[in-house]
Each structure stands twice: as structure tokens, then as C-alpha cells.
């Protein structure tokens, strides 16, 4: 299957600082990328959908000014957690699709474990 690489795999940051997470599709062009947050022993909660070259669509209850998403190219999307607080500590994971050609399968990055201290 296609490869999606997410970086970093883990990060520890101080409260009040910002953290950027990158999601790259290595061998295909990702027309659409999705960002999820997963708390321990819980499901993946969709945060936002981003299409290359346009603004992200955020799910209800997700603060767009806190979770900045950029999808500037067909192979890269970034999620920036601004002014992080301990409650933002979670596992963030991206997935990517190439919707051209009718493909429906989503490929996931390996996830980023964020710990805010």
C-alpha cells in the first residue's frame, strides 16, 4: 500500500508553546488529508479535513485558531497546535487519500504522541 510518513513520532513541549506536526505522502499525491486525535483507549476523533490548496474544514467543536492546518502541496499537510496546554496531550494521526481515479482507501501516518508539560 501507499506510504504516509508523519513527523515527529513523539514530542514533549512546554505549556504555551506551539508544536508543528508534518504528514507526508511519500509515493502518491494526497488530494485530501485528514487529521485525527486519539486519547488513550478511545477512538479516533476527526478534527479536520484538508484539501490541497484550500482551507481546512473543521469538525464541530474543534478550534481552528488553535489547530492550524496547512495543505500547501499534494504531498504535505501540517498541523500546528498553538499555545499548547496539558489537555492537548494526545495521539495525533493523519490519513491521506488520492481521490483521483476513484480510490477510497485511506493510508495512515504512524501518529505523533504529544505531551504538554
Partner 1 sequence: GENVEQHPSTLSVQEGDSAVIKCTYSDSASNYFPWYKQELGKRPQLIIDIRSNVGEKKDQRIAVTLNKTAKHFSLHITETQPEDSAVYFCAASKGDGGFKTIFGAGTRLFVKA
Q: Name the residues that contact partner 1, by CB under 8 A.
A: 1, 32, 34, 36, 41-46, 49, 51, 59-60, 91, 93, 95, 97, 99, 104-106, 108-111, 113
60: cell is: 464541530
With respect to partner 1, which residue has the nearer C-beta, 46 or 82? 46
Report the nearest approach of partner 1 to the CB of residue 78 (Å): 18
With respect to partner 1, which residue has the nearer C-beta, 82 or 108? 108
With respect to partner 1, which residue has the nearer C-beta, 1 or 86? 1
Q: Using CB atoms within 10 A of its CB, is residue 101 exposed (0-12), middle (13-18) or buried (19+)?
A: exposed
First to last CA, the chain: 36
Report the nearest approach of partner 1 to the CB of residue 75 (Å): 17
Report the nearest approach of partner 1 to the CB of residue 85 (Å): 23
Give the bridge partners for 94, in sequence order.
35
Report the nearest approach of partner 1 to the CB of residue 83 (Å): 26
Residue 109 to residues 22, 31, 50, 95, Cα–Cα distance (Å): 10, 15, 15, 6
Alpha carbons 25 and 64: distance in angstroms, whole number: 23
Amino acid at each position: 500500500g501507499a506510504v504516509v510518513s508523519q513527523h515527529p513520532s513523539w514530542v514533549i513541549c512546554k505549556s504555551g508553546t506551539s508544536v508543528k506536526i508534518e504528514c507526508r505522502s511519500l509515493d502518491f499525491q494526497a488530494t485530501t488529508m485528514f487529521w485525527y486525535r486519539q486519547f488513550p483507549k478511545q477512538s479516533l476523533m476527526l478534527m479536520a479535513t484538508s484539501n490541497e490548496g484550500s482551507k481546512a474544514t473543521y469538525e464541530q467543536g474543534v478550534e481552528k485558531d488553535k489547530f492550524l492546518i496547512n495543505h500547501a502541496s499534494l504531498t504535505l499537510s501540517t498541523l500546528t497546535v498553538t499555545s499548547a496546554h496539558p489537555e492537548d496531550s494526545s495521539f495525533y494521526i493523519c490519513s491521506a487519500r488520492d481521490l483521483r481515479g476513484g480510490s477510497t482507501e485511506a493510508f495512515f501516518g504512524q501518529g505523533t504522541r504529544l505531551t504538554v508539560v
